[in-house]
Copies of this chain bind each other. A is one copy, B any other.
Amino acid sequence: MANLLIAHGGGPTSVINASLYGVITEAKKYPEIEKVYGAVGGSSGMLTENFIDLKEISDEEILKLLKTPASALGTSRFPLYEKEYERILEVFEKYNIKWLLFNGGNGSMDTCGKIYEIAKDKGIGVVGIPKTIDNDIFTTDHAPGYGSAARFIAQTVKEIGEDVKSLPIHVSVVEAMGRNAGWITAASALARKKEGDAPHLIYLPERPFNEEEFLEDVQKLHEKYGGVVVAVSEGLKNDKGEPVAPPIFRTERAIYTGDVGTHLATLVVKNLGIKARSEKPGIAGRASIMNQSPVDVNEAVEAGKVALQSVLEGKTGVMVGVKRISTDPYQCETILIPIKEVMMGEKIMPDEFINERGNDVTDEFVKWARPLIGGELTDFADFNLGVRKEKI
């Protein structure tokens, strides 16, 4: 008899609790696991021995995890200091923890890999469960959390597109999360059903932003469609690699830049004289339960279950990943990837997913991403009114 510990790391997703659900429900099947500890507040909870026993929580509460955003255990963004790893080993011994599941993104997989290195001689198994809205985890086709963030932005841009079309007097710039990788912003393309549908322009951090071309494109599209919807990644950079939005002010620790969506909208008003506004759902985009992708929820649960099974089978130093077998019909299999490989990089959008002008994604991306949002978006009534030009 020994105990299992599960911890969350980094910014939450709308399905990280679904992976937790998978771990807990699966763990209950194995009598060799005495306690299923949850570290409260991620790695901090491991250091401060702030644990809760997840087997003690009612089935009713556990079931709610499937529809609960954020992290029910609490999470943290702080990396561990070198000497803190030794402390973690002490805690593991004190609590008779033989198995660790660490559920997080790139930063957490790094922590996970380091714990594995120091814990492997003690017979402690360590398995990573991927989690990211940004889809920037290396070596896996995609990771739980992305499909729901993608569905949220697609649904939201589709709805905003209807609004802007029905009242064609402005440009709306929708800012999506993702500092270094444009996967979420790119998924706004899934809002489209026919030519002319929003989003009309998509800007990703993988390509330097060209202000002149942007204004040229907005002008043309405004003439063509009246209302224009632009999707932009919060991490958009210029050709010097600097944020496109100007800095607002500096503190000792950081430079605060303005919102890129607001900045682009301001460019449009100032240079083209066209009314423009911006929308920034921000963290609402990673916490939306109403827009969870059912495929994403299922894959998140599955990742939790497989992680639990794997660590019990003695697999260690690995992360549960997804390998795509086929896109149409959508078919994936769960694989185990050495964490060392995961730690090698950050996955950004490949060239073949971005168009030449850098203002849109390719059909190839849309085909790749479509199954991840878990079914069609709401089909709206369309009276085919044509483009309205009056009184713009």
Quick one: which of B62, B72, B289, B380 contacts A64, CB cutoff 8 A? B380
Q: Whole-angstrom distance between the alpha carbons of A44 and B280 in the complex?
A: 31
The reply to whether the CB of A73 lies closer than 8 angstroms to some CB of chain B is: yes
The reply to whether the CB of A179 lies closer than 8 angstroms to some CB of chain B is: no
Chain B residue at smallest Cβ distance from A265: B256
Q: Which residues of A from 265 to 322 have beta carbons under 8 Å from B?
A: 266, 269-270, 273, 277-284, 286-291
The reply to whether the CB of A338 lies closer than 8 angstroms to some CB of chain B is: no
Q: Could you tell me if B282 and A72 are in contact, using CB atoms closer than 8 angstroms?
A: no
The reply to whether the CB of A355 lies closer than 8 angstroms to some CB of chain B is: no
Q: Which residues of A from 56 to 74 have beta carbons under 8 Å from B?
A: 57, 61-62, 64-65, 67-74
> A44 to nearest B CB, angstroms?
4
Tell me what chain A mostly uses at the interface: helix, strand, loop, or mixed. loop
Quick one: which of B57, B156, B249 contacts A284, CB cutoff 8 A? B156
The reply to whether the CB of A197 lies closer than 8 angstroms to some CB of chain B is: no
Q: Whole-angstrom distance between the alpha carbons of A70 and B159 in the complex?
A: 8
Q: Could you tell me if A72 and B166 are in contact, using CB atoms closer than 8 angstroms?
A: yes
Q: Could you tell me if A256 and B266 are in contact, using CB atoms closer than 8 angstroms?
A: yes
Q: Whole-angstrom distance between the alpha carbons of A291 and B390 in the complex?
A: 32
Q: Could you tell me if B70 and A284 are in contact, using CB atoms closer than 8 angstroms?
A: no
Number of interface residues of A (CB under 8 A): 77
Q: Could you tell me if B284 and A279 are in contact, using CB atoms closer than 8 angstroms?
A: yes
Chain B contacts for A266, CB-based, 8 A: 248-249, 256
Interface residues of chain A, those whose CB is within 8 Å of chain B, are 8, 11-12, 17, 38, 40-41, 44, 48, 50, 52, 57, 61-62, 64-65, 67-78, 155-156, 159-160, 162-169, 172, 174, 248-249, 251, 256, 258-259, 262, 266, 269-270, 273, 277-284, 286-291, 378-383, 385, 388, 390-391
List 10 additional A-B contacts (Cβ < 8 Å) besides A40-B388, A71-B166, A281-B284. Answer: A38-B383, A52-B385, A69-B380, A72-B381, A77-B169, A78-B391, A156-B284, A156-B288, A159-B287, A279-B283
26 contacting pairs across A/B (C-beta < 8 A): A17-B381, A38-B383, A41-B388, A44-B390, A48-B390, A50-B390, A61-B382, A65-B381, A67-B378, A68-B381, A70-B159, A70-B164, A72-B380, A75-B167, A76-B167, A78-B391, A155-B290, A156-B284, A156-B288, A160-B283, A163-B287, A248-B266, A249-B266, A259-B278, A277-B283, A289-B378
